[in-house]
Structure 1
Amino acid sequence: MREAASREAVIESLDHEGRGVTHVDGKTIFIEGALPGERVTFRPYKVKPNFEVGDVERVIEPSAQRVAPRCPHFGVCGGCSMQHLEAGAQVAAKQRVLENALWHIGRARPEVLYPAIVGPVWGYRYRARLSVRMVPSKGGVLIGFHERRSSYVAPMESCPILPPHLSAMIPRLRELVAGFSAPDRLPQIEVAVGEGITVLVFRHLLPITAADDARFAAFAQAEGVQVWLQPGGPDSAYRLHPKSAPGLAYTLPEFGVSMAFRPTDFTQVNMGINRVLMRRTMQLLDPRPGERIADLFCGLGNFSLPIARLGAYVVGVEGSDALVRRAAENAVENGLDARCEFHAANLFEATEDSLAALGHLDKLLIDPPREGAIAVVKALGDDAPKRIVYVSCNPATLARDTAVLTNEKGYRLRGAGIANMFPQTSHVESIAVFERGGFA
């Protein structure tokens, strides 16, 4: 197949993946690495009847918002897509992605646009899943994120979105893995950072040897980390070295809450933004003593416990039995179990009857995964809460669910805004508030 020829274009906008968008002869073209207002040359790598996707070859007229990427692996590593765009412009672009999704998919515009929630743009990623591959042709062990559009592992020496101590540890991790008895049977290292504690979970496909164990022990002591092993699924993970050590936890000081978690549990990657998002969420939800509030997709209680701390009674629902147990344990540890109850249920199969079984609810918090909460919003009946706060990690599914809430369920989209949970990437985290009836 003949390689597509290089062409020139002027970039009109950014799409939801951080790619430049232009139109040539009526065809939409997405160009990776291009920014609005720039004149570039590009070469397509995917050509379809209605659209093309390509890579920038040369920036002829750069945008004033273009900056030099901090990471030497940017453009090869698939972990970041927006390091070439100034940080404030990234936030503005994400706000436009949210607004465009709400309008074009949900046919709704928020009555109020909330100020963006922002924080540090480097060193913020407290959770990560690093792939490990033995590639002799590239020097041995590779540790990092996948390359763009590839299952190959980017040969990373550092990563500025990880906390500095973890970024600096990557070369030593490579040396550690290279010395194992079966380095090609250790496909993944999961990283979890809590309050003063760093855990590395090594996924391994063969039993470790005594020599491997000794290497792990020396590494844990030298680096001041906990080494865990995961021979099977996430629940199989266990601490190897040191034998006795405190567990992971993060705090929400504004609400006097400490959340214990296992390194393989789902938690927000950006703890600083999570704290500010929590403040914004509680302001918008406004929990009050005597109210009964449901927290759907509650996880280990990230939102549930602050709601309870503010005096309301919380009904948390989550699909994972393990996370439900963790939420209940966290409620006990924080002295909030009298104002909390937690249930395991598949919310992707929610019905009007299953929601009604939770009892009368004054307000509702929804924090679903990328798939959104379409079954939940469709199941809302006449007795549904008058206020819903929806925390989303996918503008498209938020917009889809917004259409149901505003067109079928009688809600108004009172406000929406973004939280820059993943700087340097195109990922958009957002929060939206819906109300119906005569809510004060």
Structure 2
Amino acid sequence: MNPIADIESLDFEGHGVAHVGGKAIFIDGALPFEQVVYSSYRKKPTFENAQAISILRESFMRVKPRCQHFGVCGGCSMQHVDASAQVAIKQRVLEDNLSHIGRVKSQRILSPIHGPTWGYRHRARLSARHVAKKGTVLVGFHEKRSSFIADMQRCEILPARISALLLPLRALIMQLSIRERMPQVELAIGDKVDVLVFRIMEPLNGDDEALLRQFADQHGVQIWLQPKGPDTAYPFYPLDAPALTYSLPEFNVVMPYRPTEFTQVNPHINRVLVQRALDLLDPQPGERIADLFCGLGNFTLPIARRGATVLGMEGSEGLVQRARENARFNGLADRTEFRVANLFEVTPESFAALGSFDKLLIDPPRDGAMELCKSIDADNAPSRIVYVSCNPATLARDANVLVNTKGYTMKAAGVVNMFPHTAHVESIAWFEREALAD
């Protein structure tokens, strides 16, 4: 007989947390205030991972998942949670991390940034696999805790027109001579064009090329081919398609990009996030500001548009080159400079060599910006730092350094629901030098 548990809370990955016999049980598909029957799939001395088999008492947060593949597909983990409750849960995760990991408390909690919860995903990497036993090709996300690809007919977090391509894509790849050697289709949805990047591990033959052209014409997409790494991707058909771009209309900025380059998956939320970051940073004409981990200039160019001079730094040479091109494209080259730098290895000496900055914007990957935060000293400390984070644990760790070692005050922090229906927590925080605080 399977055990029963009362769910106390959610962990940072969206699992229900219970305690049974003194052991923590992390239960997929369970919500706070519920009583569930569960089955463990991983047992350790101090904890277990489990799956909810049935719900004996439902939470007020529970809703019916919209997607028919929820629970099998690993793309979403929280479709069973009311959308507003998802945001509240993420806010709690942020506050708990700041308190317990960072030993800091924000003076003000910002209202959450949230937007469309369906059809929001404009970037995705779909796996493709020919399954001989099923006589078909599967295209989609992986199943939960599995290397198998979910048998998906549609996807509710992709725009409807892209979701509608899943079955035609399966039929297309099934017809190709290299169906065993095409493991991935990457999606990049721009302002004026939808791009599909096919990862090809063998050359196409003439029949394959004809099928791809026919597919592109029929569905109104542009197809790129990627024979090796992301840098090898090139446009295949049609060659006269509009450029792939996203826009930040509030700042009169248009960003061209390659489909394999990093951009935010949710353009609606990205626009609001950039606006909030700029409101908090408050760049002024004549200020010198650094945008660290700048990517292709998502924040750099709006800062420059406000009149400040901006140094953008990024570890990827390709992205730095793209940022320079985007600055020229938007008429902002005279207010921007971009450099390639490994910001995970910054030292007090290398940071001081950059000169003084009035303000910093930091937007690191999940590993955070610990070495950078440690490199700020009293002689070169900017008056204000805005930190955009995709991992509340590393934000909290870095906030500890800024507040408890470097003399900053955390003025405000809040969550950004960039990835609805997942446990991913994006957030933003504003730090001010204590001596200059209001």
Is this a same-fold pair by TM over 0.5?
yes
- Residue 268 of structure 1 is matched in structure 2 by 264
- For the residues of structure 2 that align with 1:130 and 1:160, how far apart are their CA atoms? 14
1: CA distance, partners of 2:431 / 2:93: 19
The one-letter code of the counterpart of 2:288 is R
| 1:240 matches 2:231 | no
1:371 partner letter: D
Q: Does the 8 Å contact 1:227/1:240 carry over to 2?
A: yes
State how far apart, in whole Å, the 2-side matches of 1:169 and 1:321 are: 34
The 2-side partners of 1:321 and 1:179 are apart by 38
| CA contact 1:98–1:395 (8 Å) conserved in 2 | yes
- 1:439 offset after TM fit, Å? 3.9
Q: Percent identity?
A: 59
Which of 15, 18, 23 is matched with 1:22 structurally?
A: 18
- Assess if the C-alpha contact under 8 Å between 2:31 and 2:59 holds in 1: yes
The answer to whether 1:214 aligns with 2:203 is no
Q: Write the deviation string for residues 293-351 of structure 1: whole angstroms up to 9, x where unpaired.
A: 00000000000000000011000000011110111111111111110000001111111
Query: 1:137 Cα shift?
Result: 1.9
> 2:121: which partner in 1?
125
Q: Residue 421 of structure 1 aligns with which residue?
A: 418
Instruction: Tell me if 1:381 matches 2:373.
Output: no
AA paired with 1:181? S
> Helix, strand or coil for the counterpart of 1:112?
coil
SS at 2:164 equivalent: helix
Q: 3-state DSSP class of the match of 1:113?
A: coil
Task: Deviation per CA, 1:47-75: give whole Å up to 9, x if none.
Answer: 11111110001000111221111111100
The residue number in structure 2 matching 1:294 is 290
1:352 aligns with 2:341: no
- The aligned residue for residue 141 of structure 2 is 145
Q: Match for 1:75 among 41, 62, 71?
A: 71
Offset of residue 405 of structure 1: 1.1
Q: Secondary structure at the match of 2:165?
A: helix
Q: Could you give the per-residue CA deviations for residues 104-161 of structure 1, whole angstroms, max 9, x where no partner exists?
A: 1111111100000010000000000000011122342000001111111111110000
Is 1:39 aligned with 2:53? no
**Counterpart for residue 436 of structure 2:** 438
Calculate the TM-score normalised by the size of structure 1.
0.98
1:88 alignment counterpart: 84
Question: Does 1:371 pair with 2:402?
Answer: no
- Mapping of residues 289-368 of structure 1, within 5 Å: 289-368=285-364
Q: Post-superposition shift, 1:357?
A: 2.2
Structure 1: runs of 5 or more not aligned: none
- Structure 2: where are the runs of 5+ without partners? none
Contact 2:192–2:242 (CA under 8 A) maintained in structure 1: no
Quick check: 2:99–2:105 contact (8 Å CA) kept in 1? yes
Q: Are 2:425 and 1:409 equivalent residues in the alignment?
A: no
SS of corresponding position for 2:84 = helix
Task: Spell out the pairing of 1:135-214 with structure 2 (5 A cutoff).
Answer: 135-214=131-210
Mapped to 1, the partners of 2:70 and 2:362 lie a distance apart of 34
Compute the displacement of 1:360 (Å).
1.1
On the 8 A contact 1:315/1:358 being kept in 2, the answer is no
Q: Letter of the aligned partner of 1:177 in structure 2? A: I
Alpha-carbon distance between aligned partners in 2 of 1:258 and 1:349, rounded to the nearest angstrom: 32
Deviation at 1:88, TM superposition (A): 0.3
- 1: CA distance, partners of 2:79 / 2:364: 27
In structure 1, give the amino acid aligned to 2:191: E
Note the C-alpha offset of 1:244: 2.2
CA contact (8 A) 2:193 2:241 kept: no
> Match for residue 282 of structure 1?
278
CA contact 2:192–2:243 (8 Å) conserved in 1 = no
CA distance in 1, matches of 2:7, 2:189: 39
Offset from partner CA, 1:141-191 (integer Å, 9 cap, x none): 000001111111111110000011000110000001000002010000000
Give 1:267 deviation, angstroms: 0.2
Give the C-alpha shift of residue 367 in structure 1. Answer: 0.2
Q: Deviations over 1:181-209 (max 9, x none)?
A: 02010000000001021000000110111
Q: Deviation per CA, 1:16-43, whole angstroms, max 9, x where unpaired? A: 0000011112211100000000011101
- How many angstroms apart in 2 are the aligned matches of 1:245 and 1:80? 32
